[in-house]
Structure 1
Amino acid sequence: MKKSTLTWALPLAGLAATSLIASERLFNFAFKRVNYVPETSADKQKYADAYYAYVDWYKQVKKEKWFLHEHDPNNRMVAEYIPAETPSKQTVIISHGYKGNGETMANFAQMFHRLGFNVLLPDDRGHGESAGKYISFGWLDRLDYQEWIHQVIERSSQNVKILMFGVSMGGATMEMLSGESLPQQVKAIIADCGYSSIEAELTYLLKRQFHLPKYPLEPLVSTISKRRLGYYLGDVSATEQLAKNKRPILFIHGEKDVYVPVGMAYENYAATHAPKQLWIVKNASHAESFWVNPKRYQDHVEEFLTTYFK
């Protein structure tokens, strides 16, 4: 090999190797499961006492353990079911956020329980007690939620009315689920601060948190995702799923969200042709809309349910 060729070939090889190592680390950081719930962001530490009061309630309330694929340890999904205080034909299925679990949604569980709902709180793939090496950011989870829906119908009655609800990654999961063929028992959806697509969210966070460009890392991470999870990141779009949605949907998003930018809420809303509402919560950061004013949050939810669910 000529000396002039080596002059540019060696740096390029080094750059390629560095990019491959960085993409592997980035994939593991973002997608690999962790067996603990990370601390919340600093801006929500002030709600800690209120949060743990909800968790105390959650730990004491009567619950049942539900499963998908119970006897298959590699695919077993776990959920907690909280029956309503009085028999009810209304059930809400709640989807938690990134690296959370069902318990981290205790505040929403209590809110819906007080509204007379049965509450089902699954642990998503790669979270909590459920199986899975990797976090799928809602795309594979949407398939599990289809199974949870059918289990609710089988264990309840054909007359059950189901509400789908999620926050952050859970909100995006509900948006991705919305484009699937759903039983008529699913009456409405509420998605709080969901992203428009995995690719857009990863690209945004690469720039904001790590000051890195989309290329070459995002395509490399996408290739790793295809090999390990079965899909390229560009194949997954909440907005494309929402374009097929036929259920009434309420979008909620914090005005000052810098983790999932509020512009994604407008994208998701615009993509939806079904009956829809959008509530942008002033001065709320990511997943903070409930905590800013829990009563106001419940009032908005009840107003939506009065129009589209009851």
Structure 2
Amino acid sequence: MKKRRLLAALGAPVTLFSATLLASEKLYNFAFKRVDYVPETSADKQKYASAYWSYVDWLHRQPVQTWQLNINDEANRLVATYVPASTTSNRTVIVSHGYKGDGETMANYAYMFHQMGYNVLLPDDRGHGQSAGKYISFGWQDRRDYLGWIARVIKNNGSRSQIVLFGVSMGGATVEMMSGEKLPNQVQAIIADCGYTSIEEELAYLLKRQFHLPKYPFVPIVSFINRHRMGYFLSDVSSVEQLRHNHRPIFFIHGEKDVYVPSWMLKKNYQAAGGPKKMWQVPNATHAESFWIDPVAYQQHVTAFLANYLPQNN
């Protein structure tokens, strides 16, 4: 009888630990594993569907080019769509897409910058779209990949290129993380729309909000799984730490009613950022909705910011 009680007492923690590991593995695959489709947008943004598809149709009518990096390395091959400006321009914007999206999902921003006279590069991030990769890196590996896209723009368009880095949601965090890298002088400004502070804080926040689960023990276990599969812990993936090393002009945009990437993350990123900086918190906008609420006002704010930092002779 005592032996049975002892085995039962020992078995309960083992069972709980096994269940936690299994749940963490499922969480990791749900959040980090690539999907070969673009998930449907949230219900609150369905009202923008018609406008969204009109931008996608516009993109499909453009004389685009397909660019690739790491062509001979199937496991690391990256693909992007390049939209040349209507008239020859030294200005190029590299647009970083959101979580489980691809370059095409940024067609509205491509249209905006194209109207502003920019060449537009729309990469599919690692683990998304036509690019290779089994897992999503939430901007961390992408920040290095984008250095390759920057080099490709300069090679294609010349040393007088004026490059803007622009991203939304995960893409916003990606360009924030790029800000801490050694960037060529041609990169002259960064615009980050609703980027998170770190993947660790974002995951912990969403676990609590969406699944009513605590940070511990799930986030540390997921971090350990990611270290095994991707080579780094989640604590390494930080916009805040990268922004501390920034010295380029950076414009932070964030929806006032964003509950997916909460506004305290905007303020933490803004406070951390070095270099000239500006912040625009858009009234009544939810996550990644700032453009859709008023595209004209959005373009005006972006244009005004860039006019301060990009030379006029383009």
What is the TM-score of this pair, normalised by structure 2?
0.97
Code of the residue aligned with 1:256 in structure 2: it is: K
Structure 2 match to 1:54: 55
Report the Cα offset of residue 3 of structure 1: 4.5
Report the Cα offset of residue 71 of structure 1: 2.1
Structure 2 match to 1:30: 31
Q: How does 1:1-310 map to 2 (within 5 A)?
A: 2-310=3-311
Code of the residue aligned with 2:267 in structure 1: it is: Y
Matches of 2:185 and 2:116 in 1, distance apart? 22
Matches of 2:56 and 2:73 in 1, distance apart? 29
Report the Cα offset of residue 137 of structure 1: 0.3
Code of the residue aligned with 2:244 in structure 1: it is: A
Provide Cα deviations, 1:169-197, integer angstroms capped at 9, x if missing partner: 00000000100000000000000000000
Report the Cα offset of residue 156 of structure 1: 1.0
Matches of 1:283 and 1:309 in 2, distance apart? 30
Matches of 1:75 and 1:96 in 2, distance apart? 18
Matches of 2:154 and 2:9 in 1, distance apart? 63
Report the Cα offset of residue 4 of structure 1: 4.8
Go from structure 1 to structure 2 and tell me whether the alpha carbon gap of 1:5 and 1:60 turns closer, same or farther (over 3 Å shift): same
Matches of 1:9 and 1:139 in 2, distance apart? 40
Which secondary structure does the structure 1 equivalent of 2:80 belong to?
Answer: strand
Report the Cα offset of residue 2 of structure 1: 4.1
Matches of 1:75 and 1:235 in 2, distance apart? 21
Which secondary structure does the structure 1 equivalent of 2:191 belong to?
Answer: strand
Matches of 2:274 and 2:238 in 1, distance apart? 16
Matches of 1:6 and 1:196 in 2, distance apart? 45
Matches of 1:119 and 1:200 in 2, distance apart? 31
What count of residue pairs does the alignment treat as equivalent? Answer: 310
Moved more, 278-287 or 6-15: 6-15
Which secondary structure does the structure 2 equivalent of 1:140 belong to?
Answer: helix
Report the Cα offset of residue 5 of structure 1: 3.4
**Greater than 2 Å deviation, 4+ residue runs:** 1-8
What is the TM-score of this pair, normalised by structure 1?
0.99
What are the ranges of 5 or more consecutive residues in structure 1 without an aligned counterpart?
A: none
Code of the residue aligned with 1:13 in structure 2: it is: V
Which secondary structure does the structure 1 equivalent of 2:128 belong to?
Answer: coil
Code of the residue aligned with 1:116 in structure 2: it is: G
Which secondary structure does the structure 1 equivalent of 2:261 belong to?
Answer: coil
What are the ranges of 5 or more consecutive residues in structure 2 without an aligned counterpart?
A: none
Report the Cα offset of residue 7 of structure 1: 3.8
Code of the residue aligned with 2:176 in structure 1: it is: E
Matches of 2:261 and 2:140 in 1, distance apart? 17
Code of the residue aligned with 1:158 in structure 2: it is: S
Matches of 1:8 and 1:157 in 2, distance apart? 70
